[in-house]
Structure formats: structure tokens, C-alpha cells
Structure 1
Amino acid sequence: MTQHKVIFDTDPGVDDALALYYLVRHPQIDLLGVTTVFGNAPVAMTTRNARFLLQAWGHDAPVHRGAEGPMTPDMPPEFWPTHIHGDNGLGNHPTPDATVDGPETAAQFLIDTIRAHPGEVRVLAVGRMTNLARAVQMAPDIAGLVRDVVIMGGAFRVPGNITPAAEANIWGDPLAADVVFGADWPVIAVPLDLTTRTFMDSATLADLGARGGAGMQLVADLSQGYVGFYQAAGYDGMLVHDCTAAVYLTDPDLFTLTQGEVRVLSEGIALGLTLMNPADRQGPLGAWEGRPRQSATLDGQPDAILARIAQVCTA
């Protein structure tokens, strides 16, 4: 049975919690560690949340605190999406009161772990790309040592969810995202093009909580505010953005890849826009010249992805 050595870069975050539970429960995932970043909440809070969840599920993966802000200069002020993820980042589900202070160790952990397992480590990043960008700038050699980098981010042929141009994870640090797409490592983006079609209804979530034991029931409980956000818009359930990207690690056959060089705009009205030069396009490359060809899952099988999540999280 193939084992996947995974570092999870995350900003928990309700949909991050489901993705983390999928990684913890999947028999083929060897979770080497968790690195945290600002995004759904401040990094002190996302670090606390990651540790809380792992402890609740009895998993001893180390958690390394990461970036507290973007590398992109002159970014608009960050706003924490408390209307989606609650005041504590986990849907206001009870968590320890203390947040986590301390040094930023995520980038160095990424470097050290990738170097320790050449050709084996898969990075799954479902928040801002700041930690990854810092790591590859600090140690360019890791681009040739990592197995791949799977990200939840981008909106290539559909509108964004922060602005019409941009998806949240890319918008939060577009320069970092451009660095990640431009590094000489294989990137697979799982964007809104697919994740906005991967919708778990409320009845399914309740059923998984009932069948999946205390661990999955915790995910269902802390997801209720997230479900309420979608219910206010007329949808009875929730999108599982981050867990869709987690499924790519284990079931790539459920996804359809499009390839091309990618740039991310880091200023102006289209800040955070992901622009792919498709592999079959004829014409000059311009600003895409010399960039590595990366992949994006612009299509896939949402029903089968949801079925896989259900199977793993209730096993």
C-alpha cells in the first residue's frame, strides 16, 4: 500500500478541519507535520486550532507556527472572516482559551523535512501560500526534492470568492502565490472551478457525524456555523474546498488536469487573479516566459470525491 508523506499547511478554519480529519483517518497518509498560516483567523489562533484538533483526535503530528502576514507589499487590510468561521476560527465551537505565541518555525520545518525525505514529501497547502514561498526562497534546493505541492487555491475560469477576480487563499498573499507557481517544483492547484461544485448537504454531514464516531462528530458540530453561512444564501450544506484538495493526494483519478504556466497578479483591481497560459495556446509567452508548466484541476468528479470523503471519515 502506497504511503504518502504529507505536510499540511493550513489556517483552521472549518473546512480545514474536515481536510485535516481526512488526512488523520486515511490509512495511506503519513502526516509528518502541520504548518500554520494566517487566513481564516490570525496565526496564533490557527496554530491553537490545529493543535486542539490533533489532540482531540489523538494524533501526535508536530504543529509549527507560520506567517502572521503576507509578503506582498501594500496589501489591503486583512479581515478575518468571522461570519464564516466564527470568532475563534472553528465555528465558535469551544476550544482552549489561550492562543499560541512563539517563533515562526513553519518555513524551516518545511525545508528540513523535505531535505530529510528527498523525493517523498507532498505538501498540501490550503491557506495563504506565504510559508511555502518563504521556504523555497530560503532554500531553493527543496524545489527539486519535494514530490509535489498540492494547493487549494485559485479561480481560473470562474469568478473568485473574495473579488470577481480572486479566490481567498491567493488574494491573501498574491506575491507568495506567484512565487509558488513559479518555483521549479510540480504544483497542482485545486481551484474554485472544481471546489464550488463539491457541495456536502446538511443531511450528509449529519449522517457522517452519526456514523463516524466522536472525531467526525466534532467536525460536524464545529461546521454548523459554516453551514449557516451557506443557508443564508439559500444552500443547505457546505462547500468542502480544502478536503477536495486532500482527496487529490490519494485519488488523483477523480480529477482532470489542465496544464500551463501560471502568473498571479499582485496589484490593481485584479489583485489575486490566477492566469494560466494553457499548454496548447499558440503565441508569445510574454510574462509567462521561463515559468514552469503547472497543473490545475479545472474539472473532476464531485460526487465521487464526496463519496471518498465519506468512506474515509467514517471508516
Structure 2
Amino acid sequence: MAEKIIFDTDPGIDDAMALLFAHAHPNIKLHAITTVYGNGVISDCTRNACFINAKFAIGAVVAEGASGPLQRPANGPTICVHGQHALGDVQAPLDTPIEIDSRPAYQYICDEVKANSGEITLVAIGPLTNIALALQHDPDIVNHVKQVVIMGGAFGSDGNFGNVAPFAEANIHDDPDAADQVFTADWPVTIIGLDVTHKAFFSGDYLEQLRHSAGEAGEFIWQVSRHYLKFYSERFGKDGCHVHDPSAVAFVADPTLFGTRSGPVRVVNSGPMIGMTVQKTDSLPYYDDEFSHFRSQEVAITVDDQRLLAIYRDSINLLAD
């Protein structure tokens, strides 16, 4: 049976890549898309979600979410990475119909996970504000969500500590307070962070091949990736990009792609290391311990990157049929 997901996203170039992956993969049923600020302002992110939803006949419900963090000013869109309106050189038409559910995203999430108890996985690939707001609105949802899969964080494996700050990944850095609430809630969370997303790579040649094999979806992925690859080339001297957001979808589709480790996770929410994610991996008790009374969560630390690339390619190619 396909995994039913609510996809919380700030589209976003790699978000768009991940959204089409979730739509295409036979093991995933895309129940809804909830939008959040992050790679763009909320109006752009919602328009982009509606545009992709309609363009590829995804048929998902869209619900608009938070326009900023729980309790601090927004960091602002990452224009240098994702472009002026978050889809690189592609712009969703300004007259794109904004067909969205009347409920805010947090309310939609609460209502749907309780109406489908034990069936829905929350996949969040942007700032975690919507998920934290849902927890605040109805803490009982922890008993109804099947699992939570996050793209975010960095735990230092193989030197991967951060991408927008020395010790912080962008999604967590955007709202560290929300992330800490999500990671310490009493539900199962798997965190797909830079420790694994930096180990998988969409090369320029890979994206070019996808352009020619996957029809309109391949062409769209190639077009939105132009701005992204320009950033990677100028910043890192690489022809291609890391597989960030699609990796969270890959975990839902096939968890055997990843190796994880267990332990409670906290997020630093002040000072020069704000947004840093830390996992306690031992079982020792400590006199001063703000970890051990929270449940263990799973952090991905290894990935079969070549199999992930093959699964992504094969899934997107299905959209050409």
C-alpha cells in the first residue's frame, strides 16, 4: 500500500524536484501540499505549489501556511540560491489560480491526521513552523501521525555541520524554536540532513539525461535547475547540485536506502550556534541533562546514493508515459 503523505514545503527549486518525485513514485500517495515561507515569501511559495500542482495534474489539496517563524524575524528568501520567486529562472504566472483549502496549514494538518489516524506521514522539507503550530494547536496529533520525516539539520558526520551558518542548516536555522518543538514531541521523527544529502549529487549530465527521458517533467526539472546549478558552480566549482529535499521523499519511498542512528535531538536557539542540531547518542544519565527525558529520534547518517539516483530517475521517467 502506498504511503499517504502531507507534504510541507517552501517551493523552492529542490522542493519542486521533490514534489514531482512524490507525485511520481508508486509507493507514495500525495494527500496534500501545505506551504510555508522559506526559499521564498509565502505568496510565492503558495503560488509555486499551485502552479506545479496544476501543471502536472497532481490533484493534491493545497493549504497555505505560516509566513514567518514562531517568535523571531524571518531570515528572508534565499534569492541567491533559488532566485527572485524561488523557482530559479522559471516564474509561476502571476495569474496562476490560487486554489487552496480555506483552513490554515496547521489546522488542515490537525484535521486530516485525526481523520486518517495512523495513516499519514508528515514530510516537511522547509522551516518547521507549520508542524510546530499544529502541535501547539492540538498536541494529541502525536497519537495519530504515522511518522514525521524532515529534510533539515546537520550532525557533523563526515564534517557536515551547516550550509547557511558554520553550524546550522537552512531549514532549521529559519525557525530553530519550531524545530526543537518538533524533534522533542512524542512522535517518531526521522531527520534527513546534510550528513546524507551532501553524499548524493545530481550532476549536470544526470539532469541533462533526465531532460530527454522524462518528458515535460524532465524539461521542467532541467529548467528550474539552471539557476541552482549556476549557484553551485560559482560557490563550489561543481557541475550539479546536492540531493537535498528529494532525499526525504526517497526515505518514505524506500527507507532501506538510509542508515540511521537513534537518540534524542535538540536545537540550539540562541547565540552564535543558533540552529545547530545535536543528538545524544549514549544512554548515560547526567546531572544536567536536557536530552534524556525526550524520546529518541532517528538521524540518517549513511545513504546508498547511487540507488537513490536510480530510483529518482526511474520515478520521474514514469511521468513521461
- In 1: Cα distance, 2:203 partner to 2:184 partner: 37
CA contact (8 A) 2:198 2:244 kept: yes
1:125-204 matches, within 5 Å, as 125-157=124-156, 158-204=160-206
- In 2: Cα distance, 1:119 partner to 1:128 partner: 24
> Structure 2 vs 1, CA of residues 164 and 101 (structure 1 numbering), >3 Å: closer, same or farther?
farther
- In 1: Cα distance, 2:194 partner to 2:103 partner: 29
- In 1: Cα distance, 2:41 partner to 2:48 partner: 11
Corresponding residue for 2:94? 97
Deviations 1:109-136 (A, max 9, x none): 1001100111110010000000000001
- Give the SS at the match of 1:58: coil
Corresponding residue for 1:53? 52
- In 2: Cα distance, 1:137 partner to 1:189 partner: 21
Deviation at 1:92? 2.4
TM-score by length of 1: 0.95
Amino acid at match of 1:89: A
Indicate yes or no: 2:112 matched with 1:113.
yes
The partner residue of 2:308 within 305, 310, 313 is 305
- In 2: Cα distance, 1:289 partner to 1:256 partner: 22
Indicate yes or no: 2:294 matched with 1:295.
no
Corresponding residue for 2:279? 276
Deviations 1:140-161 (A, max 9, x none): 1110110000000001112200
% same residue: 38
> Structure 2 vs 1, CA of residues 101 and 33 (structure 1 numbering), >3 Å: closer, same or farther?
closer
- In 2: Cα distance, 1:104 partner to 1:68 partner: 14
- In 2: Cα distance, 1:219 partner to 1:300 partner: 23
- In 2: Cα distance, 1:283 partner to 1:221 partner: 52
The count of residues paired between Structure 1 and Structure 2 equals 311
Deviation at 1:282? 2.9
Amino acid at match of 1:257: T
Task: Using the TM superposition, name which of 180-189 and 97-106 deviates more.
Answer: 97-106
Indicate yes or no: 2:202 matched with 1:206.
no
CA contact (8 A) 2:263 2:297 kept: yes
- In 2: Cα distance, 1:81 partner to 1:243 partner: 19
> Structure 2 vs 1, CA of residues 101 and 118 (structure 1 numbering), >3 Å: closer, same or farther?
closer
1:198-237 matches, within 5 Å, as 198-232=200-234, 233-237=236-240
- In 2: Cα distance, 1:11 partner to 1:303 partner: 26
- In 2: Cα distance, 1:104 partner to 1:287 partner: 35
CA contact (8 A) 2:89 2:223 kept: no
Corresponding residue for 2:61? 62
Amino acid at match of 1:306: L
Unaligned runs of 5+ in 1: none
- In 1: Cα distance, 2:115 partner to 2:149 partner: 19
Deviations 1:239-283 (A, max 9, x none): 1200011100011001001110011011111100101001x3534
CA contact (8 A) 1:166 1:273 kept: yes
- In 1: Cα distance, 2:99 partner to 2:278 partner: 36
- In 2: Cα distance, 1:94 partner to 1:152 partner: 24
Deviation at 1:40? 0.1
CA contact (8 A) 1:22 1:313 kept: yes
Indicate yes or no: 2:81 matched with 1:84.
yes
- In 1: Cα distance, 2:29 partner to 2:77 partner: 31
- In 2: Cα distance, 1:196 partner to 1:281 partner: 29
CA contact (8 A) 1:72 1:176 kept: no
CA contact (8 A) 1:72 1:174 kept: no
- Give the SS at the match of 1:40: coil
